[in-house]
Chains A and B, each alone.
Chain A
Amino acid sequence: MPDIVIASGKGGTGKTTVSTNLATLLAERASVVLVDLDVEEPNSGLFIKGATEKFREVRNKMIPEWKADACTGCGICQKVCSFHAIVKLGKDIMIFPELCHSCFACSELCPADALPMQPIRMGETTLSQLGSLTFVESRLDIGQEQAVPLIAQTKAMVAHELRDTRYRIYDAPPGTSCPVIEASKNADVVILVTEPTPFGLNDLGLAVDTMRKLGKPIAVVINRSGIGNDAVEDYCHTEGIAVLAKLPNDRRAAELYSRGECIYTELPAFRTELEKIAAFVRSLPQGGRP
């Protein structure tokens, strides 16, 4: 049951396009779960139409709650917090939930047990079903700054509940910082989607460096192939990275995308390339890495 993460350095290169079309295509013949881990701006659900919602769960993070009666005013909590999320003001303890990283240090090191950890909402997860495709989406509440805990909880839920699904596809957030690391660190393989432009090349290089640091096997998909230059292909060749497919640059693909529609069922040239990605995914060993 390989875990396949679809990532990119640059945003808007086609992660969601590849994830949703690939998951739909694979689900024609096998059980698939598509997991949207771009929790800040989850979009995959806009392309999975007609799915039936099976459940919706609130996701919490843990923050300390001050029990004034139990507090001895020793101030250890403030001293042990590396994130300035807990401050002693006179006799009062103030907690700033948005700064709290849920490390539990203040709570567990409090000698008076005056700071029990309590759940507060950070977002929600929905699971829906469309034939043999299971779709999982997590959505960060607006104003919450930390995507990592929600991504971690979503992955844990999928690993636990959807163990037996034949393919697990994860749509990762853009960039190369902590949310992407969290989304990718348990992957068996990472497929990087890029476009053949200077921005695409620059950000692909950053993403490749990140995935190599994580020790992940990588492969590249070039989207909007034909629009820019050959520098991305040259780079992949030099770096010894397989280019799985080159999805054609086509205004009709952009129009289908704009409406939230499936592309491969409408554009045969797109389907031919997508089949190459599917063949790669089908060739992955059931238990692990290529």
Chain B
Amino acid sequence: MKEIVVISGKGGTGKTSITASFSALAAGDLVAADCDVDAADMHLLLKPDMALAEDFYSGETAVIDPDACIACGRCYEACHFGAIHSAEGFYAVDPLSCEGCGYCARTCPTEAITNHPGKAGVWYSSTTRLAFTMIHAALGIGSENSGKLVAHVKKQARAAALAQGKPYVLVDGSPGIGCPVVSSLSGADYVVLVTEPTVSGVHDLKRVYELVKKFNIPAGCIINKADINTAIAATIRDFLELEHIDQLGELPYDENVTRAMVAGLTIVEHDTGALRETLQDAWKRVRLHVDSSTQK
């Protein structure tokens, strides 16, 4: 079983539309995982049934019992996150600023502070309208630990793929280079980079690829909206060649991509022409690269 992770650095380059299209092309062969847990969108195209929903707890938040608090201020002194403030003669914790380090509780002379496990979000195991299993999640509003929720979603997706004998886990990642991205790259077999030929697209592609290199994972790239700036598209191709990144395909700037989304369909279901062909071809290449790396 091989894990393929789709990321982009920059948001809005088309990660989710492309991941959903790949999943529609390989519906019988995979388990999908939406690891963009704080702004998940793939469910809008794949309509998962959310058959199983479970709370996910991670990290802790300090709570001060006002009856036990003697307002000595030691917790306030200890906290390096500015999460403790004084209100009407006693101290209180701002849960949005609390990192859950537990330092305050250790300094409290009256044991007025306890650490409560924080609900990081909810994760789901679903069957999509295209009949494959999808693991997804919703991070709680303002929650931390998106990286841990990502790791949990991936773990569940791998378990489902093994149980069902599916050859691929396909992961929709999140933008950026921080903890959720690091978490989605960990253990991946192949990375699909989705970029666009804009000054920011190429800038972010290079940064996220630096991260991919640290993990030593082979990668391929899809250039979306490739005709919006042909000069930058050419520099991206040069970069891919230089870095030995597989060139998986190029999609044009095409409002049909948005029309598919509005219709609640993947691109390959909505479009039967060139867009579909390019994506079919790209997925074939991904499979080829992933399968050949098995033999090594």
Contact = CB atoms under 8 A, between A and B. Distances in A.
Interface of A: 9-13, 16, 38, 40-41, 43, 46-47, 80, 82-83, 101-105, 108-109, 140, 142-147, 173-179, 181, 185, 197-199, 202-203, 206, 209-210, 213-214, 227-229, 251, 254-255, 257-260
Nearest to A143: B214
Contacts, number: 180
Interface stretch (B9-17, B85-93, B242-250, B272-280): B9-17
Contacts of B228: 251, 254-255, 258
A147 B178 contact: yes
Contacts of B147: 145
Contact of A9 (B39, B78, B203, B214): B39
A206 B141 contact: yes
Contacts of B182: 145
Interface stretch (B126-134, B155-163, B253-261): B253-261
B225 A254 contact: yes
Nearest to A174: B11
Contact size range, B: 35 or more
Given A198-B264, A258-B197, A213 B101 contact: no
The winner among A9, A174, A213 for most chain B CB atoms within 10 A is A174
Contacts of B218: none
B220 interface: no
B234 interface: no
Contacts of B179: 145-146
B96 A258 contact: no
Contacts of B180: 177
A142 B214 contact: yes
Interface stretch (B65-73, B204-212, B286-294): B204-212
A227 B177 CA distance: 29
B102 A104 contact: no
A80 B139 contact: no
A202 to B, nearest CB: 6
Contact of A258 (B13, B103, B198, B211): B198
A199 B101 CA distance: 35
B200 interface: yes
A143 B213 CA distance: 10
B199 A105 contact: no
Given A11-B12, A41-B177, A177-B146, 5 more contacts: A143-B211, A145-B182, A185-B96, A258-B199, A259-B199
Contacts of A145: 147, 178-179, 182
Contacts of A11: 10-12, 39, 175
Nearest to B196: A258
Interface in B36-90: 37-39, 41, 44, 60, 78, 80-81
